[in-house]
Structure 1
């Protein structure tokens, strides 16, 4: 049967291996022995050959932006104002320059310098602790520190890491902080660790200040410090490693809270039920009231509609009666007008008949008068003809040759007008000097007969 693995022991062993790796000094190019040479800068052999170029500047890459200008023995190191620097020279017992943001001339053959960030540093702490009840507790916190006395710090601390000069210092302070937290938590119970973190903060602050600042029991600073200053110490969280223990610790509070919540829920349900009953009753009352109001409104609407319909029916009936009466009046007026027209027509017919009778009478009278006049004229004509005949007879009896010739001469123009135009001329010579009536008549008769023949041909 395989033995159960100890997860806490595995964690401790992994942390120890990680600590050894962190504490191991990382070798790199010594930053303090010589500054990097700018690309294209002349070497000593080039200088000896007389091929020295102009001075150039170079900014090395790293945690602190330090600029190095110049060439070979005549270089200048420009340090940012927020970085500590120490400048030493071969053969000198004390540093030539030391402080914050100090720039200086640098000779790579005899000088060396160290630049360290002067900003505040933050260390994150994850301490796996064992409390007095032998239960695992994870305490998380952070420590903030800053360099206060760089003249002491650069002698006692290792800032040789070229990538992160503060790495080894942070690792050492973190291990001391975790050790202090574990010592303090081992004397406390689980509930004390979870509920009150102030004793842990006080213990951790006191120990770190003793180590970093060299403070004694009465707070006086000594010369045993590291030249550092602890800014603040805070514990963010404390978590029980065992889920079962964490749940058991929470069960009383959760049970109490469940009880309170259940009672509150029951009270809420009771209040809600009462409220729902009241609301349902109010809703039912409101519904009944609404139905009553709706019934009254429907009744009023029905009554108003009935009144409107009755008024409309009465108006329509009255209108129909008025129309019928108007139609009857119009029919009566039309009948009267027709009677008047008929009467006028009969009167006109009577007048026409009377006029026709009168006209007929007048025509008859005219015909009678005409007949009488014709008769009288005929009678008179016959009498006149008789008279004319008688006068003609009398004239014939009393007419002489001279009278006849005079009458014929008078009628000659009229006779000539009615004669046709002659196409040929025939001359008839009648001999004798004196012509009598008989000879003249004979000549005229022959002329007339010739003209008639020509007209007929």
Structure 2
């Protein structure tokens, strides 16, 4: 591979970008080389001396695995995105194997291996020689992941404590570079630069045959190729790169020069046409301006004459209008005076009629009130006569027994209204005692007899 003295700037830029990308993809876990672990404090040293539990710590490497507990009673906590296999002394098969499996761990008899389960990316820089024996740099990347971990951990080496995937990535990178070189050796420079699909197909077929096996059989490594892409294909020789670009650049330069000539010719023609059009328009503008000036002067004269005439007419019209308005104002004042007198006369007449009507209504009201009072007195007298008659009828219809009962009921009131005697003397002629029940009944019989005789004496008169 020969290079020009001034070098290939595009090639150098591509290589530098590839180095930066590799540095970004490289896992940065754990402390830098040469940095010592922090000194343990006095409390930690005291716990260690007493045989206490060790503090939690993470294993070095790209997978954040935590180991807790002390001595033989430890727990290994595996992230959910990492594969793990746990074996024990004397056991042929693993105790635990799978994705994100945590387990108890005895350092004396057990061992485990943790491998990242995330998709891995391999950057490829293949310095190839094409069919024309020219150097070509092909850059691409391969993304792969673990598909069958029980097969992968037995066939591949994940023993690097810092990066378990490093050796596998190196192996796959070497196979990918070999496949790319084999395919590029059968292609021309222009084919490599313009069509990268044959390289992608060849690389994908070879890597899948190695990683997944033929027809997904047991011959594979338990891996799965996710994607294969070719990013760049750069000619290593700067002179060859320039020579490949010269025909196209010359053709494009010719096209550009012809376009410039056509543009200049079109521009000159357009400039001449623009000058002629500009001069023609200037003459037309001057002619139009002269006509406009003449029309403007005539219009100004007509306007001034018309304005003087309008002002004279307006002055006389205003004088006539003022005289007419004054006459109309005088007539309106007289008319308003007549209407006011008529309204006052009508108002006086209405006031007299209203007063006369009010007096008539007052007299009618007094007569109606006197008539209502007389009628009420007459009806009241009739009610008194009717009431007396009804009372007489009620008194005539009463029986002696009812009179006696009413008299007996009124006796307490009669006795209460009698004056209180200062001295009470009792003389018994017939030997009856009024204080006894028999005496009181005799007295009542006498009183009842007197009342009955009085009633019988009144009946013939009625």
Instruction: Give the corresponding residue for 1:265.
Output: 260
Instruction: Give the corresponding residue for 2:99.
Output: 100
Bigger relative contact order, structure 1 or 2 (CA pairs below 8 A, ≥6 apart): 2
Instruction: Give the corresponding residue for 2:427.
Output: none
What is the CA distance between 1:144 and its match in structure 2? 0.7
Aligned counterparts of 2:106 and 2:282: Cα–Cα separation in 1: 102
What is the CA distance between 1:254 and its match in structure 2? 2.1
Contact 2:143 2:225 in 1 (8 A): yes
Aligned counterparts of 1:241 and 1:303: Cα–Cα separation in 2: 87
Contact 1:42 1:52 in 2 (8 A): no
Q: Is 1:235 matched with 2:230?
A: yes
Instruction: Give the corresponding residue for 2:61.
Output: 62
What is the CA distance between 1:68 and its match in structure 2? 1.7
Please show how residues 362-377 of structure 1 align to structure 2 within 5 Å: none
Give deviations 1:218-270, integer Å, cap 9, x for gaps.
Answer: xx133222211111111111111112211211222222222333333333334
Aligned counterparts of 2:289 and 2:164: Cα–Cα separation in 1: 89
What is the CA distance between 1:56 and its match in structure 2? 4.3
Aligned counterparts of 2:48 and 2:298: Cα–Cα separation in 1: 126
| Greater Cα shift, 300-309 or 239-248 | 300-309
What's the RMSD between the two structures over aligned residues?
A: 3.5
Instruction: Give the corresponding residue for 2:166.
Output: 167
What is the CA distance between 1:121 and its match in structure 2? 0.8
What is the CA distance between 1:123 and its match in structure 2? 0.9
Aligned counterparts of 1:276 and 1:126: Cα–Cα separation in 2: 57
Aligned counterparts of 1:289 and 1:165: Cα–Cα separation in 2: 90
Q: Is 1:295 matched with 2:294?
A: no
- Change beyond 3 A, Cα 1:88–1:266: same
Scaled by the length of structure 2, the TM-score of the pair is 0.53
Contact 2:52 2:70 in 1 (8 A): no
- Change beyond 3 A, Cα 1:45–1:297: closer
Q: Tell me the matched-pair count.
A: 277
What is the CA distance between 1:45 and its match in structure 2? 8.2
- Change beyond 3 A, Cα 1:284–1:208: same
Instruction: Give the corresponding residue for 1:214.
Output: 213
SS in 1 for 2:56: strand
Instruction: Give the corresponding residue for 1:77.
Output: 76
- Change beyond 3 A, Cα 1:189–1:89: same
Please show how residues 338-357 of structure 1 align to structure 2 within 5 Å: none
Instruction: Give the corresponding residue for 1:250.
Output: 245
Contact 2:84 2:113 in 1 (8 A): yes
What is the CA distance between 1:196 and its match in structure 2? 1.5
SS in 1 for 2:205: helix
What is the CA distance between 1:81 and its match in structure 2? 0.9
| Greater Cα shift, 226-235 or 300-309 | 300-309
Contact 1:127 1:138 in 2 (8 A): yes
Instruction: Give the corresponding residue for 2:127.
Output: 128
Aligned counterparts of 1:282 and 1:108: Cα–Cα separation in 2: 100
Please show how residues 81-92 of structure 1 align to structure 2 within 5 Å: 81-92=80-91
What is the CA distance between 1:55 and its match in structure 2? 6.8
Instruction: Give the corresponding residue for 2:324.
Output: none
1:278 pairs, out of 266, 273, 281, with: 273
Give deviations 1:156-199, integer Å, cap 9, x for gaps.
Answer: 22222222221221122111111111111111111111122111
SS in 2 for 1:127: strand
Give deviations 1:299-323, integer Å, cap 9, x for gaps.
Answer: 45566678899999x99xxxxxxxx
* Structure ID, larger Rg: 1
Aligned counterparts of 1:191 and 1:55: Cα–Cα separation in 2: 64
What is the CA distance between 1:86 and its match in structure 2? 0.9
Aligned counterparts of 1:60 and 1:287: Cα–Cα separation in 2: 91
What is the CA distance between 1:52 and its match in structure 2? 4.1
Q: Is 1:150 matched with 2:149?
A: yes
What is the CA distance between 1:120 and its match in structure 2? 0.6
Aligned counterparts of 2:48 and 2:194: Cα–Cα separation in 1: 72
Aligned counterparts of 2:199 and 2:274: Cα–Cα separation in 1: 57
Aligned counterparts of 2:125 and 2:190: Cα–Cα separation in 1: 19
Aligned counterparts of 2:163 and 2:273: Cα–Cα separation in 1: 74
What is the CA distance between 1:119 and its match in structure 2? 0.7
